[in-house]
Structure 1
């Protein structure tokens, strides 16, 4: 499968990654909020959040694996297992926020409940990006300005020779 190549991405990996992560995160947060709002017609907040978060986490992780962190050789299994732990954290934090909100204001409309869910998801997303970037999608050269394995393999720069010692 062809990878999306962005000029200058090797020089500015954080800005490229943050940009893709934000775009995917916005789509995912809106998708989760809409699915949650729809599911609340039949299910309690915790169940609606579980299902909406599970569906969108799988889609979000795969989109980030391919687009945001596609230049790092990380197998899908590793990406989805790492995201599984983050899923649990996200579920606990977002469900806790919604349940606390419902406890404090039992008569609040579902729209307000959904806004609380989306706002809390933004906070969880920041943590998610950092963990994915620094732990799940890390590779040789990450964080020190060096290209990841795929970038190094596709580099067209001059070859360097190391003198024999």
Structure 2
């Protein structure tokens, strides 16, 4: 067996987005089914808020562990920042349903689902960008970052290269002619 240190590369943008769609989209589809069922017994905005809060907690954990490659649980900072982006997504879905009800006084459940899931999808793209660049970013370019699995070998540090500033061989004289 090889005892060399192994690193697990953090997923690049496309792999992260694919995982985001699978985890976030899967939870989003379940949420899309749960909101109208819960809305049968309470106002739609309240049902959406409850489902958004629960799904945000679940998705933040899934994204921390799998989507963005940390392999660890999300901390309080990530939960609060994720909640901020989820609040924006909540506002987008509520606005979409509100506009639907302005345009069509009593839309069917299928129409509401299409509008809700469409708004959730658009808001999800915005959330992906925020989560990748701010919430789960660890500095630098995440697509080239590696996460150490085990540290067994010494690390070589290179010294910075110093260069000389080039100067003209003789001073330039401006004539006033």
Relative to the length of structure 1, the TM-score reads 0.80
Aligned residues: 156
- The separation in 2 between residues aligned to 1:119 and 1:164, in whole angstroms, is 51
Contact 1:72–1:138 at 8 Å: present in 2 too?
Answer: no
Structure 1 contact 36–114 (Cα < 8 Å) conserved: no
RMSD: 2.9
Residue aligned with 1:140, SS: coil
Distance, in Å, in 2 between the alignment partners of 1:75 and 1:13 is: 19
Tell me, what secondary structure is at the counterpart of 1:42? coil
Unaligned runs of 5+ in 2: 1-6, 162-177
Q: Is the 8 A contact 1:21 1:129 kept in 2?
A: yes
Report if aligned partners of 1:102, 1:113 keep a CA contact under 8 Å in 2. Answer: no
CA distance in 2: counterparts of 1:56 and 1:162, whole angstroms: 45
- CA gap of 1:50–1:42, structure 2 versus 1, over 3 A, is same
Higher-Rg member (1/2): 2
Match of 1:4 in 2: none
TM-score, structure 2 as length reference: 0.75
Which of the pair is proportionally richer in helix?
1
- Contact 2:96 2:119 (8 Å CA) reproduced: yes
Change (3 A) 1:122 1:35: same
| Higher RCO (CA-CA < 8 Å; seq separation 6+) | 2
